[in-house]
Amino acid sequence: KGKSSGHTQRLLSCRADCDRDSLVFRVAQSGRACHRRSYSCFGSERMAPDFSLPRLFEILKGRKENSPEGSFSAKLFADRKLLQRKIMEEAFEVVTYADRRELVWELADSIFFMSALAVDEGIDWQEIVDELGGRHK
């Protein structure tokens, strides 16, 4: 799953139920699983509890280092102008949102593209946290 999108799933475990007629797969997921741009194909479940902004940086670093074929992130790292255009596009969409749900969506997109820029420049998430912490009065 995820070869073309770069949103891969790594199998952690597979278990059968007591009748051995159903399986539960536990995976470590990167990005969205559903082609409808949601985390899951089984409803509006929230992002995995182990997902975080530092984890996003790790995923992006992996995409930059390995450049998987078909990965949109790898494409961004290969084309700085594209990355810059996406940041500008998302900034505009953030300030012109129609409703709360759209704003959350656009903020997530903005954070993603700005994180890609940070990773491309070798900036670690902790550097950003430290900068924000230094501004706290």
CATH 1.10.287.1080 domain span(s) along the chain: 52-137
| Mean pLDDT of the region 115-136 | 95
Residue 76 scores a pLDDT above 70: yes
Q: Which amino acid is at 120?
A: D
Q: How far apart are CA 126 and CA 99, in angstroms?
A: 31
When the pLDDT of each residue in the chain is averaged and rounded to a whole number, the result is 85
Fold of 52-137: Helix Hairpins (1.10.287)
Range with the lowest mean pLDDT among 9-23, 49-63, 116-130?
Answer: 9-23
Our CA angle for 122, 50, 75, nearest 5°, is 40
